[in-house]
Amino acid sequence: MPELQTRLHPAVPEPRASRPQARALLTAAAPALAAYAAVRALGLLALALWAPAEGKSAPHLLGGRWDSVWYQRIAEHGYGYTATLPDGGVHPDLAFFPLLPALERGLATVTPLTVEGAGIAVAWVAGLVAAWGVFAVGARLHDRRTGVVLAALWGAYPTGFVQSMAYTETLFTACAAWSLYAVLKGRWITAGALCVLAGLTRPTAAALIAALAVTALSVLVREWRAGRRDGLLRRNIRMLLGVCLAPLGWLGYVVFVAVRQGSPFAYFDVQARWGNSIDGGRALAAFIAGLPLPAALGLCAALGLLGWLVVLCVRQRQPLPLLVYGIAVVVVSLIGSGYFGSRPRLMMPAFPLLLPPAVALAGLRTTARTAAVVTVAALASAVYGAWTLLGSGPP
């Protein structure tokens, strides 16, 4: 494995942006936000044209099915609902983290929107904030063109249609992208605070927490080996505070569930009831083994492509926090025993995996060629998204 360059200077944070600087940053990101919005609008258009032919409502498909219903119920009534399945299985709503339903409830309270409409609005606004963060990371590591392509590719992810639903993907990715950007800028307290919000959004925050912790450890080890031992902890106090802050959101919710249920391991029991235990990938292997041969080979090819993207990220010498975060999201998504159909969606926040193709596309000779490839990806994502949403199974 090549030597990983963190490109970090955590002990010397950059000055905070003034309002004119913030406006300049937003202006710089405008092409990326426009490209992302165009990609998602194409997906919505495909759904709007297809849904009536199937006798279904596009808004209901985006905000009133599957996990969206659970979040809305929490927003309206708080925690305490449990669904009993025909096979005797029990699904408590404590499996769902509180930030999205809290935002839904708050927005529905101060606006004319219903809770369902508020959930869609939160997802759409968070999608733009996430695209901005993804652009910011790509532009900082490479250039603005790469950042624009990266944001567009994230919007055109195969299961990118979930970004238009009242789900947590956009909200979590927004927190994660800006947290990682803050680490790259040496703003560890900001990174830790955003990680707290990510930890209140979904359990995948464990990958972000790990990214911050591993990066901080690497900084300390590097300075220790370089002989800079005097005042090591004092010099990196903001970094250490950020790392200590990072897990508080996730831990806070786990403790909340533990106190509510009267068991220190209650959260993990709740996840087990939903079939989301960590099994090291045995469920995935069994799923592949049970598929017809063509489907099994196709899925293995997709997993191989995923592995190749990880290799490309390493070869690209991505900064350590991005590398740890991207790999950890993939690993967490694949080693659980839950419903396999959700695995691609669970990996969507791992936007650093899209950096290698984004760099390659940004390097094409003309902008027209780059736009053509992104457009094809967006069209494929739009058609696949509409077909999936009009189906019976959850994403």
In eight-state DSSP terms, residue 218 is H
Show Cβ contacts of residue 35 under 8 Å, excluding neighbours closer than 6 positions: 148, 149, 151, 152, 155, 374
Q: What is the pLDDT of residue 230?
A: 87
Q: In whole angstroms, what is the distance from residue 256 CA to residue 267 CA?
A: 9
Q: In whole angstroms, what is the distance from residue 63 CA to residue 108 CA?
A: 14
Q: 242-263, pLDDT tens digit by residue?
A: 999 999 999 999 999 999 999 9
Q: Which three-class secondary structure state does DSSP give residue 91?
A: strand
Measured between alpha carbons, how far apart are the two ends of the chain, in Å?
35
Q: What is the pLDDT of residue 81?
A: 93
Q: What is the pLDDT of residue 3?
A: 40
Residue segments in the chain with a per-residue pLDDT below the cut of 50:
1-7, 9-15
Amino acid at 386: A
CB-count exposure of residue 278 (10 Å: 0-12, 13-18, 19+): middle
Residues belonging to the chain: 395
Secondary structure string (H, E, C) spanning 229-297:
CCCHHHHCHHHHHHHHHCCHHHHHHHHHHHHHHCCCCHHHHHHHHCCCCECCCHHHHHHHHCCCHHHHH
Backbone angles phi, psi at 91, to 5 degrees: -120, 100
Could you tell me the pTM of the whole model? Answer: 0.93
